Chain A
Amino acid sequence: MTSSFSRSWLSLAGLLPVAIATTLFILFLQAVPVIAAGRTLRQVWQWVPGLGVDLSFVIDGLSLTFALLISGIGALVMLYSARYLAGHVHQARFSLLLTSFMLAMLGLVLSDNLLTLFVFWELTTITSYLLIGFDHSAKKARRSALQALLVTGVGGLALLAAIILIGTTAGTFELSELRAMPAILTGSTLYLPILVLVLLAAFTKSAQMPFHFWLPNAMAAPTPVSAYLHSATMVKAGIYLLARMHPSLSGTDVWLWTLTIAGAVTTVFASIMAVRQTDLKLALAYTTLMALGALTLLLGNSTGYAITAAVTFLIVHSLYKAALFLVIGIVDHGTGTREVDRLSGLVRAMPVTAAAAAVAALSMAGFPPFLGFIGKELKYAGALAVASEPVLVAGAVLLSSALMFAVAGIVALRPFWGKAGDPPKPPKEGPWAMLLGPVVLAGLGAFFGIMPSVIATTLVNPTVTAILAEPGEAKPLLLWAGINLPLLLSIATFVLGAFLYALHRPLRRGLIWITQRTPSLDGGWDGFLAGVMAVCRWQTQLLQTGILRRYLFLTFATAFVAMAGTLVAKDAIDLPNLVPDVLPKHGMLFVLIFLGLALTVITQSRIAAIAGLGVVGIGIAMLFILFSAPDVAITQLLVETLIVVLFAAAALRLPHLPRGGSGWRFWDAMLALGLGVTTTAILLMVTASPVDRELTGFFEGASWPEAFGRNIVNVILVDFRALDTFGEIAVVLVAAIGAYALLKGTPERQKK
C-alpha cells in the first residue's frame, strides 16, 4: 500500500464508482418525500413476455430503505476503497466488480417481478464469489469463495423453484399483484413447499444456522468488501426476501416457529462465537450473524412492534457495522494487524478513528442517545409482543444483546484505550478518504438517535407498511418511552454486558477450549466435498472403465433389454407359424450359415474368422437365389468376396485374436444369443404382416418409362434415390482420405 498521502489514488478506476453511487443515492433521496406520503413508484419495461417476465421495478418503503442503504453506504465504501486499494494492480477490476455488485443489489431490492429479482439475486452471488476470491493467489480465498458460492447457490436454486411454484399458484410473478391476494399462498396446497424453498434461499443468503459457516470465511475478501457485502448489504438480501414475502407467507405457525427458532439459535450462537474471536474482523463477522439472526427472529412475527423493531435495527446495524468494519480496515492498514491482543492505546496516534469507533460501538452496545438504544428498546418490545413464548424470545434477545455489549467493548474500546500495544507497524492515522465513511456512518447513528423523527416518518413507517401490507401499524421511535419493561431489560443488558466484558478473557479461553474440541460445520465442509468427490470418482470408474469390451457389452445389453423388455411389457410377441415354410434346401443353407458363424466365433485365427464370415455371406447370397432375386444375390456375392480378400490382406499383418476372459465369454455368448433371438423374433413378426407395395409398385412402373432404366435396383440407386448414393460416395472418399491420413500422419516417434 502507498505509505504517503499522495494524489495518485485519485484515479478514474477509484473515483468513478463513487460518482455513480453518489448520484444514485441522491436520486433515491428525492423519492423519500413521495414514499413518506404513502405512495409507491412503479416502472415496467417488457422483457420476455413469452415467459411472463417483465423488467418491473417498484419503490416503496422497503425497497427505498434498502436502496438508500446500498447506494449511501456504497458511496462511502467506494471512496474508502479508492484509497484502500490505490496502486493495486487489479484496482480497476475491483472497482468494476464492486460497482456491478452494487447495481445488482439495487436491482434485487427494486424488482417487482420475482424472476427479475432472481436474476439480480444470482448476480449478487456471482459478484460476491469474484470479490471473496479477489486475493486469488491465496488458497484460502479460493476456498472461501467457492464455499460461499455453493452454499448461496443452493439457496438460489431453491428460490428459482419457489418462484416457479408461486407463479403457478398465484398466476403472476409480480410482487405487487401477489400482495393484493393475501391468502393465495398460505391457503394453497403448495404453501409448505414454497415456504421451505423460500426459507432455504433466505437462510443460506443471510447465513442463518446451519448455513452460517460461509459468512465468517467470506472475510477472506478485502475489508471494504466485508464491510459492504458481508455486513451491510448482500447478506441482508435474505432478510429482504423474508420481509418482501412477509405479506404473502407469514401468519402461519410454520413461519412463526421456523423464523423464531432459527433466528434465536443463530443470534445466541453467533454472539457467543463473537466473544471467542481474537481477530477483530472475525469478531465483527460473527456480530453480523447475530444481527441477521435477530432480524430473522423479529420477522417471524406480524406485530407492529416486532416489525418496527426489525426495520429500525436493520438501519442501526447497517450504519454501525459498516462503520466498524471500515475502522478495522484503517487499524489493519495503519498497524499491520487485526489481532486484539496486540492492539491497545491507538487513540493517541489515531484519534479520529478512535472517535468514530467509539460512537459506532456505543450505538452497537445500545447506549442512549444513539439509534442503537432505540433499536434495542424496540427489539425488547417486539420480543415481548410475541404472544406464544415471550420469555424465551426476550431471553434470547437479552443474552445476545449483552454479549453484543461485551463485543462492542472488545472491538472498539480495547484497541484504542489503555497503554500502547505492540503492533507490527507504528500506528498511523488513516487518510481522510478512508475516515470519511466511518465518521459519517457513526455520526448518523448518533444523529438519528437524537432525532429519531427524521427517519421514523420518512423511512421506518413506510417500510413497516410495506412489510405488513397495511398502513398504520408502525410504532413510534422514542428515546424515552417511560419506565417500562423494555427499559428494565435494557438496564439488565448493560449490567450483564459489563460483567461479560470484565470476564471476556477467561470466557474467550474457555470458548476456544470448547470450540477446538467440537466438530464444526466449516471443518466438515472439506470432508463433505471430499465425500462428494469420492462418490463422483466411484461412479465414473464404475461406468467409464476405459475398456472397450465392457462398453460394447453394456451398449448391446441396453439394446437387448430395451427391445426384449418392450416386447414382453407390451405383450407384443405374436410369432407366426414357421414350420410349413421350411424346406430341406433351406435347412441345408441354415446349417451352412450356422457352421460359418460357429467358426467365426470360436476360432482364434483372424483369417479363419474372416473365412467363416465369408461362408455366412455366401449362404445368404444363396438364399437370395432361392427366393428368385438373382440381382441382389450377385451384389451380395461380389461384396462378400471383396470383403474377405481385403480383410484377409489386412489380417495377415495382425496378431492372433486374444483369448477373452472365460467369465466374460459366457455372458458375451448369452447376450449375443439374446439379442439375436430378439431381433429375429421382431423380424419374423414384421415379415409375417402384409407388405405395403406402394413404393415398389411405383418403382416398377416408373423405372423404364420415366427413368429410362431396366434394372430397377440401378435406377433406384442413381435416380430415385441418387442423393443416398451421392452420400455413400462421399463416405467412401472420406474413408480413403481418413485412411491416407492415418497411414501417413502417424508421428515418426510412434512408428518405430
Chain B
Amino acid sequence: MSWLLSLPLIIPFATAIAAFLVRGHASGRWISLTGSAIALAAAIALLMVVLDDGVIAGQMGGWPAPFGITLVADLLSAVMVLITAITAFAVAIYAFGDIDRRREELGYHALFQTLIAGVTGAFLTGDLFNLYVWFEVMLIASFGMLILGGEKEQIDGGVKYVALNLVSTLLFLSGIGLLYGMTGTLNLADLAQKVETIPNQGLLTAVAMMFMVGFGIKAAVFPLFFWLPASYHTPSFAVSAVFAGLLTKVGVYAMIRMFTMIFDHDIGFTHTILLWIAGFTMVTGVLGAASQGDFRKILSFHIISQIGYMILGLALMTPLALLGAVFYLVHHIIVKANLFLIAGIASRATGSTDLYRIGGLYASSPLLAVLFLIPAFSLAGFPPLSGFWAKYVLVKASLDAEFWFMAFIALAVGLMTIFSMTKIWAEAFWKPHPTNPDPALDQVPHRGALLLPVAGLAVLTMVIGLYPEPFVVFAERAAAQLLDPTAYITAVLGAAP
C-alpha cells in the first residue's frame, strides 16, 4: 500500500519540478493542471482503499515503525488529502484566468504544487518530526506565493505572516524535542502508547500546551490569529483561495490529531481550554468580519470564526461533536475557497474588492449572483446547504453535552455570519455600481476558467447539502477512528503487544 500513500506526495512534487523547468513558457499552467488532475485521481484511489480496508500505513524506506518514517491514512487523513486535491484542481483551473505571465515566470506553479505537497504530507504523515517538516514546506511555499508580485501591501502582510508563523514553528519544534525527551519516539502511534507511561503527567500537559499554542497559531484561533487578516487579502485571488481553504485547516487537523490521539490524558483540563478558545475564536472572528468593508477582509475574518466551530467539535470530544468537526472541515474548505475565488471574479468585473466602490453585479451577472449565494448562505449555515448540517451537528453536540452557552454562541455567530454575507450581497450585488453603470461579467477575460471551478465547488456544496447522508456516515466513522485509535496504532506498529 505504500505506493498509494506516497503517490499524493510524489505527484505534486514532480509537477512542481516540471512546472519550474518550463516557468518561462505558457505550458506551465497545463502541467500544473494535469498534475492536479492526476493527484486528484490518486487521492480518490487512496480514499477508496481506506474506505474498504480501514487504516493503511506505509513504512518509508522500508524501515519498520517506529524507527523510520511512517505514512498513514485513516479516514480523516484520506478525506483531507482528497479535499486538498479537489481544492488544488479547482484553483489550478482558476489560475488560467487569474495568474499573469509575470507571476508564472517567477515560479507560481512550482510554489503552488509544492504547497499542495506540503499540505498533503502533513495530512499523511504518521511521524511528529515529519509533520514539522511538512509545516516548513508549507510555510516557505506559502510565503513565496504570498509575496509573489511584490506589491508593498503583500510584503507587509508577508512579513507579519512569516514572523508569527515562525513562532509557531519554534513552539512546535521545542515541543517535539521535549516530547522526544520524555518518550524517546517520534512515531505518532508509538507516542500514543508511550505518553501513558510518563510519570509526571502534569509536565506532559505543559508540553501539550506548547503544541496547542503552536498549532493554535497555524489554525488562527483566538488570540493567535493576527497573521491571517494581515495577509490573506493581499495576494492573487487564486493564492488567497488556496490559503483560505487549506492552510489553517492543517493547523486544525494537527490539533485534532494530537488532542485525540496523544494528548487525551487530561481532557478535563486541555479540552476545557479548547472550549474557551473555540468560543472566543467564533466571536472575535465574526465581530472582526462585521467591522470590515472589503470583500476579502470579511472572508478572512470569517475563516477565524469558523475555525472556532471546528475547535468546538474537538473540545467537546463526543462522537457527535467530532463528527461535526470532520464534517465542518470538509464543508468549510470547499465553501471558503470558493468564496475567495468568487471575490476574484467580482473584483475583475467591478474593478475592486472594496465594497463601497463596487456594485451592480446582481443586475448584470445573475450567474455570479447565484454562485455567490450558494457558498455564502452555506457559510452562514442556512439549510439545505452543507453548512447547515455542520452547524446543526455542532449545536446539537453542545446542547447534548449541556454546554448551553456554547450552543448559543454557535447560533448567534451564525446570525452574524449572515449579516456579513448579506453585507457583501447588498453592496457588491444589489447596490448599483457607484461609477460604472454596467459592470458586466462578459467583459472579464478568461471568464470560463474563472467560473468553471466556482460552479464545480458550488455544486459540491449543494450535493453535500441536499444529500448529506453518505458524508454524515463517513464523518461518523472518521470520528470513531479518532476516538479509538486502536486501528491506527495497529496499522502502524502491527498487532498490539
Cα A544 to Cα B229 in complex, Å, equals: 8
B226 in the interface (beta carbon within 8 A): yes
From A543, A546, A689, A719, contact of B288 by CB (8 A): A543
Residues in B neighbouring A508, C-beta threshold 8 A: none
From A90, A682, A720, contact of B63 by CB (8 A): A720
Cα A687 to Cα B224 in complex, Å, equals: 30
User: Shortest Cβ distance from B430 into chain A, in angstroms?
Assistant: 4
Which stretch of A272-280, A324-332, A552-560 is in the interface? A552-560
Cα A730 to Cα B130 in complex, Å, equals: 13
Residues in A neighbouring B54, C-beta threshold 8 A: none
Q: Which of B47-86 contact A (CB under 8 A)?
A: 60-61, 63, 66-69
Which stretch of A67-75, A118-126, A311-319, A367-375 is in the interface? A118-126
Given A543-B223, A720-B61, A738-B144, A682:B291 Cβ within 8 A? no
Interface membership of chain A positions 726-744, coded 1 if the CB is closer than 8 angstroms to chain B and 0 otherwise: 0110110011011011101
A29 in the interface (beta carbon within 8 A): no
Contact A535 B287 (CB under 8 A): yes
Residues in A neighbouring B414, C-beta threshold 8 A: 157
Contact B185 A695 (CB under 8 A): yes
Cα A563 to Cα B186 in complex, Å, equals: 21
Cα A129 to Cα B373 in complex, Å, equals: 12
Cα A47 to Cα B13 in complex, Å, equals: 41
Interface membership of chain B positions 340-367, coded 1 if the CB is closer than 8 angstroms to chain A and 0 otherwise: 0000000000000000000000110010
B111 in the interface (beta carbon within 8 A): yes
Contact A692 B194 (CB under 8 A): yes
Cα A698 to Cα B205 in complex, Å, equals: 29
Residues in B neighbouring A168, C-beta threshold 8 A: 399-400
Contact A682 B230 (CB under 8 A): no
Contact A556 B389 (CB under 8 A): no
Contact B472 A48 (CB under 8 A): yes
Contact B67 A698 (CB under 8 A): yes
Interface membership of chain B positions 363-390, coded 1 if the CB is closer than 8 angstroms to chain A and 0 otherwise: 1001000000000010000111000110
B245 in the interface (beta carbon within 8 A): no
B310 in the interface (beta carbon within 8 A): no
A419 in the interface (beta carbon within 8 A): no
Given A165-B399, A721-B129, A562:B291 Cβ within 8 A? no
Contact B184 A551 (CB under 8 A): no
User: Shortest Cβ distance from A541 into chain B, in angstroms?
Assistant: 8
Given A146-B422, A164-B396, A750-B152, A119:B61 Cβ within 8 A? no
Cβ-closest chain A residue relative to B369: A93
A142 in the interface (beta carbon within 8 A): yes
Cα A619 to Cα B266 in complex, Å, equals: 39
Contact B106 A574 (CB under 8 A): no
User: Shortest Cβ distance from B192 into chain A, in angstroms?
Assistant: 14
A521 in the interface (beta carbon within 8 A): no
A253 in the interface (beta carbon within 8 A): no
Cβ-closest chain B residue relative to A537: B291
Cα A408 to Cα B384 in complex, Å, equals: 41
Residues in A neighbouring B288, C-beta threshold 8 A: 536, 539-540, 543-544
Contact A533 B407 (CB under 8 A): no
B102 in the interface (beta carbon within 8 A): yes
A571 in the interface (beta carbon within 8 A): yes
Most buried by A among B61, B159, B185: B61
A137 in the interface (beta carbon within 8 A): yes
Number of interface residues of A (CB under 8 A): 100
Contact A137 B430 (CB under 8 A): yes
User: Shortest Cβ distance from A552 into chain B, in angstroms?
Assistant: 7
Cα A167 to Cα B408 in complex, Å, equals: 17
Cα A563 to Cα B392 in complex, Å, equals: 34
Cα A695 to Cα B190 in complex, Å, equals: 11
Q: Which of A543-582 contact B (CB under 8 A)?
A: 543-544, 546, 548, 551-552, 554-556, 558-559, 562-563, 566-567, 569-572, 574
Cα A571 to Cα B269 in complex, Å, equals: 13
Contact B213 A559 (CB under 8 A): yes
Contact A572 B205 (CB under 8 A): yes
B21 in the interface (beta carbon within 8 A): no
Contact B396 A157 (CB under 8 A): no
From B66, B117, B160, contact of A551 by CB (8 A): B160
Residues in A neighbouring B452, C-beta threshold 8 A: none
Residues in B neighbouring A41, C-beta threshold 8 A: none
Interface membership of chain A positions 108-124, coded 1 if the CB is closer than 8 angstroms to chain B and 0 otherwise: 00000001001100110
From B114, B141, B150, B209, contact of A750 by CB (8 A): B150
Cα A416 to Cα B197 in complex, Å, equals: 91
Cα A118 to Cα B392 in complex, Å, equals: 11
User: Shortest Cβ distance from B54 into chain A, in angstroms?
Assistant: 20
Cα A119 to Cα B383 in complex, Å, equals: 5
Cα A558 to Cα B277 in complex, Å, equals: 12
B411 in the interface (beta carbon within 8 A): yes
Cβ-closest chain A residue relative to B125: A723
Q: Which of A122-171 contact B (CB under 8 A)?
A: 122-123, 126, 129, 133, 136-137, 139, 142, 145-146, 149-150, 153-154, 157-158, 160-161, 164-165, 167-168
Contact B141 A734 (CB under 8 A): yes
A584 in the interface (beta carbon within 8 A): no
Q: Which of B135-194 contact A (CB under 8 A)?
A: 136-137, 140-141, 143-144, 147-152, 155, 159-160, 163-164, 167, 171, 174, 178, 181-186, 194
Contact B150 A686 (CB under 8 A): no
Residues in A neighbouring B363, C-beta threshold 8 A: 89-90, 136-137
Contact B183 A692 (CB under 8 A): yes
B210 in the interface (beta carbon within 8 A): yes
Residues in B neighbouring A548, C-beta threshold 8 A: 159-160, 163-164
User: Shortest Cβ distance from A534 into chain B, in angstroms?
Assistant: 9
User: Shortest Cβ distance from B287 into chain A, in angstroms?
Assistant: 4
Contact B167 A552 (CB under 8 A): yes
User: Shortest Cβ distance from B206 into chain A, in angstroms?
Assistant: 4
Cβ-closest chain A residue relative to B228: A544
User: Shortest Cβ distance from A751 into chain B, in angstroms?
Assistant: 9
Contact A734 B384 (CB under 8 A): no
A663 in the interface (beta carbon within 8 A): no
Cα A555 to Cα B169 in complex, Å, equals: 12
Contact A149 B422 (CB under 8 A): yes
Contact B133 A555 (CB under 8 A): no
From A129, A536, A683, contact of B291 by CB (8 A): A536
B275 in the interface (beta carbon within 8 A): no
B432 in the interface (beta carbon within 8 A): yes
Cα A139 to Cα B117 in complex, Å, equals: 48
Given A123-B383, A142-B431, A551-B164, A741:B151 Cβ within 8 A? no
Contact A562 B121 (CB under 8 A): no
User: Shortest Cβ distance from A9 into chain B, in angstroms?
Assistant: 22
Given A160-B392, A742-B150, A50:B472 Cβ within 8 A? yes
Cβ-closest chain A residue relative to B134: A727
Interface membership of chain A positions 679-711, coded 1 if the CB is closer than 8 angstroms to chain B and 0 otherwise: 100110111010111111011001000000000
Given A51-B389, A737-B20, A737-B111, A126:B106 Cβ within 8 A? no
Pull 23 A–B residue pairs with CB atoms less than 8 Å apart, ordered by A: A51-B468, A136-B431, A142-B426, A142-B431, A146-B422, A161-B399, A539-B288, A540-B288, A544-B226, A544-B229, A551-B226, A555-B217, A555-B224, A566-B208, A570-B205, A682-B203, A686-B207, A721-B69, A722-B60, A727-B134, A731-B137, A745-B150, A750-B152
Identify the A interface with B (CB < 8 A). Answer: 46-51, 89-90, 93, 115, 118-119, 122-123, 126, 129, 133, 136-137, 139, 142, 145-146, 149-150, 153-154, 157-158, 160-161, 164-165, 167-168, 532-533, 535-537, 539-540, 543-544, 546, 548, 551-552, 554-556, 558-559, 562-563, 566-567, 569-572, 574, 679, 682-683, 685-687, 689, 691-696, 698-699, 702, 719-724, 727-728, 730-731, 734-735, 737-738, 740-742, 744-747, 750
Extra contacts, 20 of them, besides A540-B288, A724-B130, A737-B111 (Cβ < 8 A), are A48-B469, A51-B392, A119-B383, A122-B388, A129-B422, A137-B363, A142-B426, A142-B431, A539-B287, A562-B210, A562-B273, A570-B203, A572-B205, A686-B178, A719-B63, A720-B67, A735-B140, A737-B106, A737-B110, A750-B152
In the A-B complex, the 4 residue pairs with the smallest Cβ-Cβ separation, listed nearest first, are A572-B202, A692-B184, A738-B144, A570-B202
